[in-house]
Every structure is written in structure tokens, then in C-alpha cells.
Amino acid sequence: MSKYSTASKVLTVIFILLCLVWIFPILQVVINSFKSNASINTDAFALPTEESFVGFSNYIKGMTFGNYPFLKSVGYSLFITVASVFLILLFTSMSAWYIARVNSTVSKIFYYLCLFSMIVPFQMVMFTLTFTADNLKLNTPWTIPIVYLGFGAGLAIFMFVGFVKGLPLEIEEAAAIDGCGPVRTFFLVVLPMLKPTLISVGILETMWVWNDYLLPYLVLDRTKYMTIPIHVQYLKGSYGSVDLGATMAVIMLSIIPIIIVYIFCQKYIIKGVAAGAVKG
């Protein structure tokens, strides 16, 4: 018993150290967001002093810097995230239900193609993606959620299929006997039972889309539309100088919402992933 107790304590210490390593960069961003630009350039790891502490002036400067309003970037990021996650949850859950219930060669091929999309590096398709998005007019905030649907479908379908295979088929058969067609059966019977995985997939996709930089940077017209990650990159002064204090402040403003969402919803992520992985 003592042997396992000692091993448990050692593992606890190791994981605490790993957590500190992961948290340290975030703490540095928080600390530097309250320091002057000169003090950050001099010693980025030092704590704020009376001379270096500037309060919330970096946050004000970051939100008002340049000709592009920060709140406009927040609006675009919010719309793209909400629309993309909605499309992913709706269409991938329906596709997963079809794949799990219709045991055909076509459904199996489609399922494996979705899994294959998870392992293809984005760098392999980004140039053709940009060309296709321009030709199909998918290069605006109102249409880019369609692109996110394609890239987010792989993980979502994988999780949904695993969960649907564990649902009792008798419930759907009873709904069919009562006169429900496929559409009503899905929305009235199957979709409510998918709630754990819906929440898990929704949270994971939200964190991905909200923090994504490369896809909007390649697809959107940056002179008209900027998401928050793109806005951060353009916090530059004359001759390419960067106000690090304002940049850190804007980074904090961008990650606080997603951190809050993750903290309150992390238990649903664990439940949903476990359910989708074990069942089926």
C-alpha cells in the first residue's frame, strides 16, 4: 500500500509541475499587460513596479489603436464562431446518425473520408483552399462558416458516430411506429439524447474557431474583415514597431471568454468524449 502511495505522491508532484509549466506563459501575459512597453522590452519576466505599472491603459490603448475598431473584430469573431459551431453541430450530428444507422458501403466510405480529414495537415490544402474560397465567394465572415464546417466535420462525426452506436435502436423504432418520419425522429428523439456529445463537440469547436488565426488570415479580405487573432497581429506602429503592452492586453481580452467557457464546461467535455469513445 505504501508503495502505491509513494508513487501517487510522485505523480502528483510531476503533474503539478507540468501544470505550472503550462500556466506560466498565461501568467506572463497577464503580468505584462499591466506593464509599460519599455519595461517589457527591458525585462519581460519582472513583476510590475511603481515605475512600470500602467494600470489599464494598455487595455484602453489596445482597444482604440489604429483605424480598425477592436469591437468590430470581436463582432466578426463572435458571429463566425457561433455560426460555424451551429452548422457543425447540426450537419455532423445528422450525418453521424445516418452513418451509424445505415450500414452501407457509401456510408462507410464517407465515414472513413471524414476520419482521414483529421490527419491531413492544413498546410497541404491551404493554397487550394484559398483559391476555392475566392472562386466560390466564401471569403467573407458571412460565408466562412461553410469552410469551418468542412474542417470541423471530421472530429465531430467521429464523436457523434461513437455515441449514436450506443443508443438503443428500439426507441427509434417505436417513434417510427408512432408515425414519425426520419426528420421528426432525429429532431424529437435522437437529438435530445445526443446532448452530452453536442455540448462536448460544441465546446471543442468553439475554442478552435475562436482562437483560429491561419484560416481567416488566408480566406478573409484583411482590409475589410479582421477577427481578433488577426487584429492582434496588426497592433503595430510606425516602422513595424509593436506595442507589447497593448498586444498583451488584447490577447488577454481575447482569451478570457474562452477560458471562462472552458472552466464551466470542462466536465461536459470529459463526459462527452468518454461516451463517444466507449460506446459503439
Low-confidence ranges of the chain (pLDDT < 50): 1, 238-239, 277-280
CA distance 201 to 219: 24
CA distance 274 to 4: 26
Residue 22 CB neighbour total at 10 angstroms:
9
Cβ 243 vs Cβ 125: under 8 Å? no
Q: What is the pLDDT of residues 167-221, one digit of tens each?
A: 888 888 888 888 888 889 999 889 988 888 888 889 889 989 999 998 999 898 8
CA distance 164 to 182: 15
For residue 50, report the phi and psi dihedrals to the nearest 5 degrees: -60, -35
CA distance 90 to 101: 17
CA distance 33 to 36: 8
CA distance 110 to 116: 10
pLDDT at 273: 59
Domains of the chain from N-terminus onward: 2-61 (no CATH), 66-278 (1.10.3720.10)
Cβ 157 vs Cβ 96: under 8 Å? yes
pLDDT at 280: 44
Query: Which residues face 242 on adjacent strands?
Result: 236
Cβ 106 vs Cβ 95: under 8 Å? no
CA distance 6 to 14: 12
C-alpha cell at 102: 445505415
Q: What contacts 130, CB < 8 A, 6 or more positions away?
A: 218, 219
C-alpha distances (whole Å) from 141 to each of 10, 178, 231 are 49, 43, 14
Instruction: Return the ∠ at Cα 180 (arms to 176 and 186), rounded to 5°.
Output: 95
pLDDT at 240: 59
CA distance 141 to 146: 10
66: left (phi over 0), alpha (psi -120 to 50) or beta: left
Supply the DSSP symbol for 187: I
pLDDT at 176: 86
CA distance 77 to 80: 5
pTM: 0.85
pLDDT at 78: 93
